[in-house]
Structure 1
Amino acid sequence: MHYENPLYMAEDAGAADLIAGGRLQLGISRGSPEQVVEGYRYFDHHPADGETDADMARRHTARFLEVLSGEGFAEPSPRPMFPNPPGLLRVEPHSEGLRERIWWGAGTRATAEWTAEQGMHLMSSTLLTEDTGVPFHELQAEQIRLFRERWAEVGHQREARVSVSRSIFPLVTAQDHALFGLESRSSDQVGVIDGVRARFGKTYAAEPDELVRQLGEDQAIAEADTLLLTVPNQLGVDYNAHLLRTLVEDVAPALGWR
């Protein structure tokens, strides 16, 4: 969001949701680590005095959420080419209900609580930009619980939703074993990103029965209501269809996923 113009983004999101018949689930976040130094400045976005780029991203987000609500805010011209309805104008196109289908990608427990305060659903990926020494799935489960608790405290009158991301590779063919059988990220990894200690979740790569056992012990998956799967898109459509088919047929039923 430190790259985005909130009003342009609201226009695009509204159009996409109308085209999709109100099915858009839109995930946003502050943004990933920069490829260039202060890249947002090339888009003519500049933090205000005393702001960080994270503060600016949250400011952009607040404005985006505000205009998505559909309230008028812009003074209409007294001499428009086409007649305006009475009162202030809103961003168009407007899609009713989209404000309630915005998700925020949170990398910490504190950001998850902030997400709940804003009334956005929570996305938590395979990376958390904090580390307490416990396994990734336990730290992520704690993040989810804090999000849900804060959501309830704020008193939002709708259900909170949570998604987590995982890299899962069932090994059922020789090609599967050759590609992922020696997967080097079979355990959590800890590193430093932008000077902050971060924890990366492990990759799940095993035969289906073993995957069922391992995934059944993942506390964060149990806490979430939606699982997003990362796929190796460089391997092509056919191979990814094979991966997903194997997960759906040989892993998901044993875990009660639907």
Structure 2
Amino acid sequence: MKNIGFLSFGHWSPTQGSEVKTAADVLTQSIELAVAAEELGLDGAYFRVHHFARQLASPFPLLAAVGARTSKIEIGTGVIDMRYENPFYMAEDAGAADLIAGGRLQLGISRGSPEQVIDGWKYFGYRPAEGESPADMARRHTEVFLDLLEGKGFAEPNPRPMFPNPPGLLRLEPHSEGLRDRIWWGAGSNATAEWAARLGMHLQSSTLKDDETGEPFHVQQADQLRAYKAAWKEAGHAHAPRTSVSRSIFAITNDTDRMYFGRGGKETDQVGFIEQQRSIFGRGYADEPDKLIEQLKGDEAIAEADTLLLTVPNMLGVDYNAHVIETILTEVAPALGWR
């Protein structure tokens, strides 16, 4: 058995063929897709976060709305760029959204990826400290955020407050018990995966990582997951670790599928450079269900992970994406032992 969720990048564009032409469209359709996915029996609804782009940006209103419209499905991000985040506001927003959802948030965060503008975080009021890189700043923000989620008091109360205070130092409110144990880190390297394990965060690994050995992407990613689990065990955390990988997987069952994704599973890994780092991009999968099943059997990282996030083409609309999800759940997942 495997947890299966969808991951939406939340694109919108007023172009021909797009079913998602405005920001209002992408927000309302994201909620509708989460509702449809829950009805189909999917385990998770996850959303990417990008700034300065025609994509989903501020996640917490969306997560709260999804939480209010659903009852069982996990609701998460993949990922929030911590270079842009005020950990204090984020802790309040995350606590509120998690309470609305009844404790179903699974928040993926990370140091971020290249964005639409140069050093976009500076427009949000943030600068790396002396000797820090932007990635260091993201990790610093993360550690503050994790501490705040513990719910311990730290702020000195006003001796003449407007409203009565509980005794002792005050914490941020609202506090959602247990959210600290449902934070995930999006790691691009083995070293950052091990760092996340030491801090007690779950691991999200996407279709992009540092090319550390020259081996196929799925082999390197499986090794990353195993290194993470070893570091978690060594850290001795009380709760169990979780690991997720994301993939573009499309089962071709009709002419519409064939029109969009009829390349027949010919994709391969690609290697390139991001910010001077040699990176490897994992292949996607698109084929008829029986062929797709055989291809997926060879993906070591999917086998190693307990959670699979299916990246969806959100601009094709809710109905088509529900079809994409349903075909994976019914035509592919049972044959692979995922259901």
SS where residue 157 of structure 1 aligns? coil
Q: Which residue of 1 aligns with 2:18?
A: none
Of 205, 209, 218, the match for 1:137: 218
Shift of 1:239: 1.1
Q: Which residue of 1 aligns with 2:177?
A: 96
Tell me the distance in 2 between the aligned counterparts of 1:177 and 1:228.
22
The alignment's C-alpha RMSD in Å is 1.1
Q: Give the direction of change, closer, same or farther, for the CA distance of 1:92–1:137 in structure 2 (3 Å limit).
A: same
Q: Which residue of 2 aligns with 1:111?
A: 192
Q: Is the 8 A contact 1:107 1:130 kept in 2?
A: no
Tell me the distance in 1 between the aligned counterparts of 2:182 and 2:305.
16
Question: % of aligned pairs identical?
Answer: 67
Q: Which residue of 2 aligns with 1:160?
A: 241
Flag structure 2 segments of 5+ consecutive residues without an equivalent.
Answer: 1-81
Flag structure 1 segments of 5+ consecutive residues without an equivalent.
Answer: none
Q: Which residue of 1 aligns with 2:279?
A: 198
Shift of 1:182: 2.2
Q: Is the 8 A contact 1:183 1:203 kept in 2?
A: no
Tell me the distance in 1 between the aligned counterparts of 2:324 and 2:182.
28
Q: Spell out the pairing of 1:229-248 with structure 2 (5 A cutoff).
A: 229-248=310-329
SS where residue 163 of structure 1 aligns? strand
SS where residue 315 of structure 2 aligns? helix
Of 56, 59, 62, the match for 2:143: 62
Counterpart code for 1:172: T
Q: Is the 8 A contact 2:95 2:175 kept in 1?
A: yes
Do structure 1's residue 6 and structure 2's residue 81 form an aligned pair?
A: no
* 1:140-164 per-position Cα deviation (integer Å, ceiling 9, x unaligned): 0000000000000011111100010
Of 224, 229, 232, the match for 1:151: 232
With CA pairs under 8 Å and 6+ residues apart, which has the higher RCO, 1 or 2? Answer: 2
Tell me the distance in 1 between the aligned counterparts of 2:315 and 2:302.
26
SS where residue 199 of structure 1 aligns? strand
Counterpart code for 2:159: P
* 1:213-237 per-position Cα deviation (integer Å, ceiling 9, x unaligned): 1111110011100000000011111
Do structure 1's residue 219 and structure 2's residue 219 form an aligned pair?
A: no
Q: Which residue of 2 aligns with 1:121?
A: 202
Q: Which residue of 2 aligns with 1:17?
A: 98
Q: Which residue of 2 aligns with 1:44?
A: 125
Total equivalences in the alignment:
258
Q: Is the 8 A contact 1:116 1:148 kept in 2?
A: yes
Do structure 1's residue 73 and structure 2's residue 154 form an aligned pair?
A: yes
SS where residue 230 of structure 1 aligns? strand
Tell me the distance in 2 between the aligned counterparts of 1:112 and 1:54.
14
168-177 or 157-166, larger mean C-alpha shift: 168-177
* 1:163-202 per-position Cα deviation (integer Å, ceiling 9, x unaligned): 1000001111122112111279710011111111110010
Shift of 1:238: 1.3
Do structure 1's residue 208 and structure 2's residue 289 form an aligned pair?
A: yes
* 1:23-64 per-position Cα deviation (integer Å, ceiling 9, x unaligned): 111111111212211111111111110000000000000000
SS where residue 55 of structure 1 aligns? helix
Counterpart code for 1:146: A
Q: Which residue of 2 aligns with 1:255?
A: 336
SS where residue 47 of structure 1 aligns? coil
Do structure 1's residue 83 and structure 2's residue 157 form an aligned pair?
A: no
Q: Give the direction of change, closer, same or farther, for the CA distance of 1:13–1:183 in structure 2 (3 Å limit).
A: farther
Q: Is the 8 A contact 2:87 2:145 kept in 1?
A: yes
SS where residue 279 of structure 2 aligns? strand
Shift of 1:129: 2.7
Misfit runs of 4+, over 4 Å: none
